[in-house]
Amino acid sequence: MVKHIKSSYKILSAPGSAFTNHYKWIVVVILFIFGMVSFGLRFSFSVFFKSLQAEFGLSRTSISTVFSMYMLLSALFVIVGGWALDRYGEKKVFLLAGFFVSLSLMLTSRITASWQLFITYSFLFAVGTSSVYVNSMSTVSRWFPKSKGFALGIVTSGPSIGMIVFSPISAFLISHYGWRNSYSILSLIAFFTMIPCSLVLRKSHAKASPLPDDTNKEKVDNAYGLSPSQAVRMSSFWLMIGILFLLSACAYCVLTHIVPHAIDIGIDPIKAASMLSLIGLGGLLGRLGMGRASDSIGSKKGMLIAALLMGASVLWLMGSFNLWMLYVFSMIFGFAFGATAPLNAAVIGDTFGLRHIGLIMAIIEIGWESGAAFGPALAGYIFDITGSYSKAFLATAIASFLGALLIILIKRPSGASK
């Protein structure tokens, strides 16, 4: 009886079976939930900011350092997470992610001294969340070896929805139950959503994308299932790091400084802040729209369009001096920014194959995180010495256009299917 069940399961779960074709969309839903919960909880830190500051009598710099250390550790752990995905599979990696997210928040609710935040939050929360994005992109790429754009668009919309959902939930919980009980409740929410979802995951059969019939075995192994050591010898690997650095520097420069810039030119602070909401809405449309469109036009062309739109929108920003022009900018910029998430994952999968995509994508992602740290700091420095964001935004637009140029230079291995 047991043998019969196992045999039936193997038949149903074989690549190309009806069960597999339906199950891969279940994977998309699961990864959407993971992104929504993990990133929603990440962005909710600012809601707890003043409560933690008041509890321990710390400066804002000290509390900010907790989150900065979390981001620094996340950049380190993302590589470990990508390696673990390739080695141990989706279920184990996402199960551990859910466990550490829940553990982090529960222990944070019990701390008695501020230094403990660096352990319970900075360290443990980084272990749990650092690789969720990269591993989600890698997993989707494995389950959708051909038309992955729309699936990636759905999954990458999770963080946007998470920001919308968990910020007001956190504020409500703090106002009614205090920050400690709020973290305990959020810990339980994470546990009872992420753990059950991870248990449903199973390892994809996909190892590499299909190649033409006349492609020999050696070319399949070397050209379209590249190992990290093979990938780093390709110019496209370093081009992708440079592309993500430039686009991220552009994106986070704007996201960090757009509100003070709008206030500087006379926009009401509340209306200036509403621009971020429009960027979020545009981002959601970009993730879904360009993700779907890339299935038809190709991931590389889609990413090229997104980079050009981002640069063009910043040029529009430089000439915007009233609210409606800023709103137009917000929607276009948000659309382009949102589109980069599923598209860069698709380009990486198409270029380097699927066998070691977790680790390869994790290493390349360092370019994005570095750009996110560099862009805002450079813009702030330029403003301090010039008294204006004009040169900063011009540099930002140029960075995006340079990113577009580098996208054109990306080449796929010979023999890889299109």
Do residue 60 and residue 189 come from a single domain?
A: yes
pLDDT digits (tens, 9 = 90+) for 121-169: 989 998 998 888 878 878 887 788 766 667 877 887 887 787 777 777 8
- What was the pLDDT predicted at 116? 93
Question: Do 313 and 329 contact (CB within 8 A), yes or no?
Answer: yes
Do residue 195 and residue 166 come from a single domain?
A: yes
- What was the pLDDT predicted at 344? 79
Sign of the Cα pseudo-torsion (75, 80, 83, 87, in order):
negative
- 129 occurs within a structural domain: yes
- 382 occurs within a structural domain: yes
Specify the range with the lowest mean pLDDT, choosing from 240-244, 292-296, 312-316, 324-328.
Answer: 292-296
- 261 pLDDT above the threshold of 60: yes
Do residue 139 and residue 79 come from a single domain?
A: yes
- What was the pLDDT predicted at 319? 86
Do residue 152 and residue 221 come from a single domain?
A: no
- Alpha-carbon distance 342 to 294, whole Å? 9
Do residue 150 and residue 256 come from a single domain?
A: no
Number of domains within the chain: 2
- 416 occurs within a structural domain: no
- What was the pLDDT predicted at 61? 62
- 415 occurs within a structural domain: no
- What was the pLDDT predicted at 109? 94
- Alpha-carbon distance 77 to 83, whole Å? 10
For range 337-358, the mean pLDDT? 79
- Alpha-carbon distance 220 to 226, whole Å? 9
- What was the pLDDT predicted at 68? 67
pLDDT digits (tens, 9 = 90+) for 52-76: 878 888 775 676 677 667 777 877 7
Domain boundary among 144, 166, 200: 200
Question: Do 174 and 51 contact (CB within 8 A), yes or no?
Answer: yes
Q: Which residues pair with 353 in a beta bridge?
A: 225
- What was the pLDDT predicted at 204? 64
- What was the pLDDT predicted at 312? 95
pLDDT digits (tens, 9 = 90+) for 75-95: 778 878 878 887 888 889 999
- 6 pLDDT above the threshold of 70: no
Do residue 182 and residue 223 come from a single domain?
A: no
Name, of 33-47, 107-121, 144-158, 287-301, the range with top average pLDDT: 107-121
pLDDT digits (tens, 9 = 90+) for 326-342: 999 989 998 998 888 77
User: What type of residue sits at position 156?
Assistant: T
- 417 pLDDT above the threshold of 60: no
- 321 occurs within a structural domain: yes
Residues 6+ apart with CB under 8 A from 196: none
- Alpha-carbon distance 234 to 338, whole Å? 27
For residue 258, what pLDDT band results from cuts at 50, 70 and 90? confident
Domain residue limits at 16:
2-200
Short-list 282, 265, 385, CA closest to 317: 265
User: Which structure tokens are listed for 309?
Assistant: 């739109």
- 334 occurs within a structural domain: yes
- 90 occurs within a structural domain: yes
Domain boundary among 168, 200, 232: 200
Residues 6+ apart with CB under 8 A from 141: 148, 152, 345, 346, 348, 349, 354, 357
- What was the pLDDT predicted at 146? 66
Do residue 151 and residue 225 come from a single domain?
A: no
**CATH code where residue 331 lies:** 1.20.1250.20
User: Which structure tokens are listed for 250?
Assistant: 């552009």
Do residue 190 and residue 239 come from a single domain?
A: no
Domain boundary among 147, 169, 200: 200
User: What type of residue sits at position 372?
Assistant: A
- 215 pLDDT above the threshold of 80: no
Do residue 223 and residue 154 come from a single domain?
A: no
Do residue 167 and residue 250 come from a single domain?
A: no
For residue 239, what pLDDT band results from cuts at 50, 70 and 90? very high
User: Which structure tokens are listed for 257?
Assistant: 């400084």
Region for residue 387 given its phi and psi (left: phi exceeds 0; alpha: psi -120 to 50; beta: otherwise)? left
Do residue 229 and residue 195 come from a single domain?
A: no
- 245 occurs within a structural domain: yes
User: What type of residue sits at position 343?
Assistant: L
Do residue 149 and residue 230 come from a single domain?
A: no
